């Protein structure tokens, strides 16, 4: 069976609702990492205020000091999950439905092929389990 990796960049304050929505949709297993990034467009001060208001806080760090810098990196969360091909649309729709506000900074989703997996405990390959 073919599998896909779904990588979703979302707002800080949306990790709780996203975790709950994915679990209810049948995807309880995923990874979440802190990250910094920004989209293609630079941020003007109005967009920056919107991002700060929606994310509720800015970290006290060198990354949050230059609030008017157009290339400033915004704190985000990277959610990663691996699903069967048949479940990609359901997982992506769940993430979009939970995170879509219509405002800049809602996030981005990437879907990549997974060619093989290994279970560390047994060294079993996904190819081994197909036989």
pLDDT digits (tens, 9 = 90+) for 30-78: 999 999 988 876 555 565 565 555 555 544 444 454 444 556 788 999 9
> What is the share, in percent, of the chain residues with pLDDT greater than 90?
57
| Residue whose structure tokens are 């779904």 | 6
Q: Are 34 and 80 in contact (CB under 8 A)?
A: no
Token duo for residue 45: 């001060």
CA distance 106 to 14: 10
The pTM for the full model equals: 0.74
Q: Which are the contacts of 89, defined by CB distance < 8 A and separation ≥ 6? A: none
Count Cβ neighbours within 10 Å for each residue of 31-41 and write b for 16 or more, e otherwise. Answer: eeeeeeebeee
CATH topology of domain 3-41+76-130: Alpha-Beta Plaits (3.30.70)
Residue ranges per structural domain of the chain: 3-41+76-130
What is the dihedral angle through the alpha carbons of 40, 90, 35, 99, rounded to the nearest 10 degrees?
Answer: 70
């Amino acid at each position: 069976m073919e599998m896909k990796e779904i990588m979703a960049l979302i707002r800080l304050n949306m990790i709780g609702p996203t975790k709950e929505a994915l679990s209810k949709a049948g995807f309880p297993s995923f990874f979440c990492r802190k990250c910094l990034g920004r989209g293609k467009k630079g941020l003007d001060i109005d967009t920056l205020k919107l991002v700060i208001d929606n994310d509720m806080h800015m970290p006290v760090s060198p990354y949050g000091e230059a609030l008017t810098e157009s290339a400033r990196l915004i704190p985000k969360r990277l959610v990663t999950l691996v699903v069967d091909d048949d479940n990609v649309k359901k997982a992506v729709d769940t993430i979009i439905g939970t995170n879509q506000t219509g405002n800049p900074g809602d996030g981005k989703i990437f879907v990549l092929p997974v060619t093989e997996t290994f279970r560390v405990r047994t060294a079993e390959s996904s190819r081994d389990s197909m036989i």
